[in-house]
Amino acid sequence: MAEIRAEEPASTISKTFLIKPKLKSKPRSLPQTPESKYWSSFKSTKIPNLVSSISSLSFSPSPPHLFATAYSTSVSLFSPLSLSDGDVSPSSTISSFSDVVSSIAFRNDGLLLAASDLSGLIQVFDVKTRTPLRRLRSHTRPVRFVKYPVLDKLHLLSGGDDAVVKFWDVAGESLVLDLMGHKDYVRCSDCSPVSPDLFVTGSYDHTVKVWDVRVENSRSVLEVNHGKPVEDVIYLPSGGLIATAGGNSVKIWDLIGGGRMVYSMESHNKTVTSICVGRVRKENDGAESMEDRILSVGLDGYMKVFDFGNMKVTHSMRFPAPLMSVSFSPDCRTRVIGTSNGIIFAGRRKGKENVESGRVGNVLGFESISEPERRVLRPTYFRYFHRGQSEKPTEGDYLVMRNKKIKLAEHDKLLKKFRHKDALVSVLSRKNRENVVAVMEELVARKKLLKCVSNLDSDELGLLLTFLSKNATMPRYSSLLMGLTKKVIEMRVEDIRNSDALKGHIRNLKRSIEEELRIQHSLQEIQGVISPLLRIAGRR
């Protein structure tokens, strides 16, 4: 109890301390979280002068992750490597389009690029030679999107203002399926990262439909209503969730759960034009892992980073123009945002240039669903030495308790080393009565107590005499201590005579003994009064 009472005032005081007003004004930016630090670490480069609105951005899935931009009637390819050197000129440009390019898509090996334009034509280019290999014409109205399935190299998906989604066989330049169902312009789509047959499309009729090419009657498998014209839709890496952007909200839907809305993020002020999946490096438990985020850009000029694990906006960044498109490179080093006035804000993080080279073989595009990446801990890292320490036991684990370390007091250690006198002196200076008596009893058991007494120097003898004068008359210890006192005085009579300090101790001792004697006397007097009475009573 006493301890608790002592604690409480201290804590209240610490709460009522006045905070000294700061002289400097508070910085406008919020204190940086590790995550916003991460996002600010993308060193921004401006790529200007691209004539008009950037309608589409796409990264090549294979290193070095070139990115293609569609603007006006041309498609430009940029190398992120040259970006970090400050070179903002495109590495190559394709301009064999008759109308404004609406959408571009890389095949999953990065060798082919599909582009659609508003004339309704879809062309497939070889990325290296920039020659059109196939021309797919069937759409009667402007095509708004073209997509390569993530796990499929042979087919292509497109849709446009004619409200029809078309599934193409690229090699034969032939149409495989017409998917009818949307009632308005189809604006966007994404292919499932886990299945080559599934994809979603979003339309201005507010709905997002999930299609399966294996379904015979070409009807949508699932349909969700976003509530606003859908501008963009993406699969989240697990393949079970999709995110849709429309109006000023981004909504997350659970496809496996039957199209249930999981969350609606409404932090943009104007229409969200584009979303993509980004990844952030996260440290938890000492090991590094990558976590997925949704990057969304809108006409309000903001890029928001949304953590769909915790349903929180973790970072937000403002750009000086309405934003039209966003893309994030698979190696997590480049992030590009296209604006409506022909400027691309490309951000690139520092890091080892070929950090992703180990994953070249992963051409099937499994990156997005693979395990979060962990950096291998090496003994050169500090964290190496803390690895696994915060691991929690699982249900079936058997706990092996470490034996509790026995803490020995100083006198115990000395006793273990047979330094008997030092042990006695050490415990005498600690002022714990029970311990002193216990040490004395142990010394008796070792037959060393008197030896110790004879070895004490005058200071230590003073310590012993102080202890004896205080405790010799305590009934609990008197049987031991009275005998010891007698012996000590007998043995060290010469030393006591020679020292005034010791004489003082002896005087104290004498006083306490006399007091005890007085008590005993008075007790005996009481006994003397009572015992005749007892005797009389007993005689009856």
Partner 1 sequence: MMRGGRSLVSSPPAFSNDAKKLLVCTSNTVSVFSTVTGLLITSLEGHTALVTSVIVVPPSNPAAKVLCYCWTASLDGTIRYWDFSLPELMKTIDIRMPIFSMVIPSFLDVPAEENGKHQDLFAYVSIEDTKETQERTKASRRQIRKCNLSKSRLVGRLILGETRKPEVLTVSPSGKFFGIRNKCKLHIWKVLDQGSERAAVRKITLHHTKKITVIAFHPTQRIIAAGDVTGRILTWRGFGNRAFAASNGVADQKLINVQEDKPGVRDNDDADSCSTWHWHSAEVNVLSFSSDGSYLYSGGKEGVLVVWQLDTGKKKFLPRIGSPLLYFIDSPDPTLSSISCADNQIHLLKMPSMGILKTISGIKAPCFYPDIYEGLGNGIAFDQTAGIVAVRTENYCIQFYSLFDDRGVSEVQVCERNHQPGDDVTVIVTSVALSIDGSLMSTSEVKLAEEGIGGLVCLKFWDAGSQNKEFSLSTIVYEPHRDAGISAVKFHPSGNMVVSSSFGGDFKVWKCNHDVIQNDQMRQNFSWTCHSVGSYKKKPMTAAAFSADGSVLAVAAETLITLWNPYKNVLLAVLGETLTPIVNLSFVGKSDNLVAASCGSNPQLSVWNMSKLSVSWSYKLHIEAVASAVDLSSFAALVLLPESSKKTTFKGMDGVILLFNATDPVPTVIWSVRKAKGGALCFVQVNPSSVEEISIDGKAPEVLLAYMNGDHEYVLFDPYCKDAREVSVSQKEGLAAHDHKGQAGQYGYASIYGELPEFDRKRPEAPWVPSFPSDRPWETIFSGSSHNLPPLTKLCSAFLESLLEKRTAAAE
DSSP 330-341: TTSSEEEEEETT
- Residues 272-301: x where in contact with partner 1 by CB under 8 A, - otherwise, as a string: ------------------------------
CB of 507 to partner 1, least distance (A): 23
User: Between 354 and 454, whose beta carbon lies closer to partner 1?
Assistant: 454
User: Between 260 and 446, whose beta carbon lies closer to partner 1?
Assistant: 446
Give the dihedral sign, CA 277/283/285/287. Answer: positive
What count of other Cβ atoms lies within 10 Å of the Cβ of residue 527?
Answer: 10
Q: Is the peptide bond before 64 cis (omega within 30 degrees of 0)?
A: yes
Q: Using CB under 8 A, pick the residue from 445, 494, 500, 532 that binds partner 1.
A: 445
Cα diameter, the chain: 138
- Cβ atoms of 480 and 440 within 8 Å: the answer is yes
User: Between 430 and 487, whose beta carbon lies closer to partner 1?
Assistant: 487
Ranges within 105-134 binding partner 1 (CB under 8 A): none
Ranges within 159-218 binding partner 1 (CB under 8 A): none
User: Between 126 and 441, whose beta carbon lies closer to partner 1?
Assistant: 441
Q: Does 533 bind partner 1 (CB under 8 A)?
A: yes
Q: Using CB under 8 A, pick the residue from 276, 323, 440, 464 that binds partner 1.
A: 440
Structure tokens at 392: 């929690």
Q: Does 406 bind partner 1 (CB under 8 A)?
A: no
What count of other Cβ atoms lies within 10 Å of the Cβ of residue 391?
Answer: 10
Q: Is the peptide bond before 31 cis (omega within 30 degrees of 0)?
A: no
Residue 444 CB contacts under 8 Å (≥ 6 apart), including other chains: 480
Ranges within 467-496 binding partner 1 (CB under 8 A): 479-480, 483-484, 487
CB of 447 to partner 1, least distance (A): 5
Please tell me whether residue 436 adopts helix, strand or coil conformation.
Answer: helix
Q: Does 7 bind partner 1 (CB under 8 A)?
A: no
CB of 439 to partner 1, least distance (A): 11
C-alpha span between 199 and 193 (Å, rounded): 9
Q: Does 540 bind partner 1 (CB under 8 A)?
A: yes
User: Between 391 and 441, whose beta carbon lies closer to partner 1?
Assistant: 441
- Cβ atoms of 516 and 485 within 8 Å: the answer is no
CB of 436 to partner 1, least distance (A): 13
Q: Does 383 bind partner 1 (CB under 8 A)?
A: no
The DSSP bridge partners found for residue 156 are 168
Under the phi-then-psi rule, with left for phi > 0, alpha for psi from -120 to 50, and beta for the rest, what region is 292?
Answer: beta
Q: Using CB under 8 A, pick the residue from 446, 503, 518, 521 that binds partner 1.
A: 446
Q: Using CB under 8 A, pick the residue from 450, 463, 489, 513 that binds partner 1.
A: 450
DSSP 382: S
* Helix 458-471 × helix 478-491 angle, to 10°: 150
Q: Using CB under 8 A, pick the residue from 410, 441, 459, 515 that binds partner 1.
A: 441
Total of chain residues touching partner 1, rule CB under 8 A: 20
C-alpha span between 286 and 449 (Å, rounded): 55
C-alpha span between 240 and 191 (Å, rounded): 12
Q: Using CB under 8 A, pick the residue from 146, 242, 449, 472 that binds partner 1.
A: 449
CB of 496 to partner 1, least distance (A): 19
CB of 540 to partner 1, least distance (A): 5
* Helix 478-491 × helix 433-445 angle, to 10°: 70
Residue 360 CB contacts under 8 Å (≥ 6 apart), including other chains: 62, 63
Q: Using CB under 8 A, pick the residue from 287, 444, 463, 489 that binds partner 1.
A: 444
C-alpha span between 372 and 448 (Å, rounded): 68
User: Between 24 and 540, whose beta carbon lies closer to partner 1?
Assistant: 540
CB burial string 56-85: b at 16+ within 10 A, e below: bbbbbbbbbbbbbbbbbbbbbbbbbbebbe
Please tell me whether residue 356 adopts helix, strand or coil conformation.
Answer: coil
Candidates 75-83, 124-132, 247-255, 445-453 — which segment interacts with partner 1 by CB under 8 A? 445-453
Q: Using CB under 8 A, pick the residue from 4, 26, 447, 532 that binds partner 1.
A: 447
CB of 263 to partner 1, least distance (A): 45
CB of 462 to partner 1, least distance (A): 20
Candidates 261-269, 288-296, 326-334, 531-539 — which segment interacts with partner 1 by CB under 8 A? 531-539
Q: Which residues bind partner 1 (CB under 8 A)?
A: 440-441, 444-450, 479-480, 483-484, 487, 533-534, 536-538, 540
